[in-house]
Structure 1
Amino acid sequence: MAVRLDDLDRKILAQLQQDGGQSLDEIARTVGSSKTPVWNRIRKMREAGVIRAQTYLLDPEALGFEACFFVLIRTAEHDADWQAAFLRALRERPEVLEAHRLAGDIDYILKVRVKNARAYDAFYQALISEVKVHNVTALLSMEEIKSTTALPL
């Protein structure tokens, strides 16, 4: 369910998406308000679930995670027990940054960040030892052209 936001809320959210480490004073000045109303709006948007978390974005390559794989998974299994085991296996692996269930020929796509191809193979071997999959295709990203967490407000 969408939450009603006005222009000031959207400006505040845009500032938070740009740099969540800004002070309330900086955000208020940028959006043309004062500190207390900005704080109250942020608090209300947290309570409403519009703002899920405050976090920092790390540079994966600076930390040695140089390989990004998109993993396409097809399965012949679709029962609840298999799905629960598969979802548990994904949630337990910090290498999996994103996982999506898809419509179409591919059942799932994963975004996996690892140090190198050997680390991806270890991830792959561990995953298939836990859950049965019909087909796995790993695509190595050669270059990240665009990556953002900012929503188009």
Structure 2
Amino acid sequence: MDAIDRTILSILQQDSETPVAQIAEQVGLTSTPCWRRIQKLEANGIISRRVALLQAQTLGLTMTVFVQVKAGNHDKKWLSTFSQHASSFDEVVECYRMSGEYDYLLKVLVTDMACFDHFYKRLVSGIAFSDVTSSFAMEQIKYTTAVPLTHL
């Protein structure tokens, strides 16, 4: 990966619909070699997909909740069951297995407290947890989907 690839990635992270000709001009290439680089970045799995980013607040999803979970036990079956269970909720937009005091961290988007309560009851039903705690985001200071490229 060279400086041209990094610049292409930076442009695409800002707007994936930027025309290839415009990207090519910004990186000092003609359209064909620029398009080949983009295709290579896709083939190598660096660009996994191109999506539309939606404004959750505008769509009424005004509450962001971070749910921390302690596993009921640490056997393979529980871990697999929990992963499938947590992934099945549309409200869960991110889910991580963590080190430290809590085993999992879920980022949940909902419209209000009643909606979160409904989600919470469904989350805890049918699975044994050691502990579940929730923190409500009061303000979003920074949000980006852009991956840092400065280390490349």
Give the TM-score normalised by the residue count of structure 1: 0.94
The structure 1 segments of at least 4 consecutive aligned residues displaced by more than 4 Å after TM superposition are none
Q: CA deviation at 1:76?
A: 3.1
1:112 corresponds to = 108
Give the Cα separation in 1 of the matches to 2:117 and 2:29.
Answer: 52
Q: How many residues align?
A: 149
Give the Cα separation in 2 of the matches to 1:31 and 1:114.
Answer: 41
Residue 139 of structure 1 pairs with residue 135 of structure 2: yes
DSSP 3-state at the match of 1:104: coil
Change (3 A) 1:40 1:134: same
Give the Cα separation in 1 of the matches to 2:91 and 2:28.
Answer: 41
Residue 55 of structure 1 pairs with residue 48 of structure 2: no
CA RMSD of aligned residues (A): 1.0
- Is the 1:89–1:130 Cα contact (8 Å) retained in structure 2? no
Give the TM-score normalised by the residue count of structure 2: 0.94
1:148 corresponds to = 144
| 1:70-112 per-position Cα deviation (integer Å, ceiling 9, x unaligned) | 1111123111111111111112111111111111111111110
Q: CA deviation at 1:128?
A: 0.6
- Is the 2:61–2:109 Cα contact (8 Å) retained in structure 1? yes
Unaligned runs of 5+ in 1: none
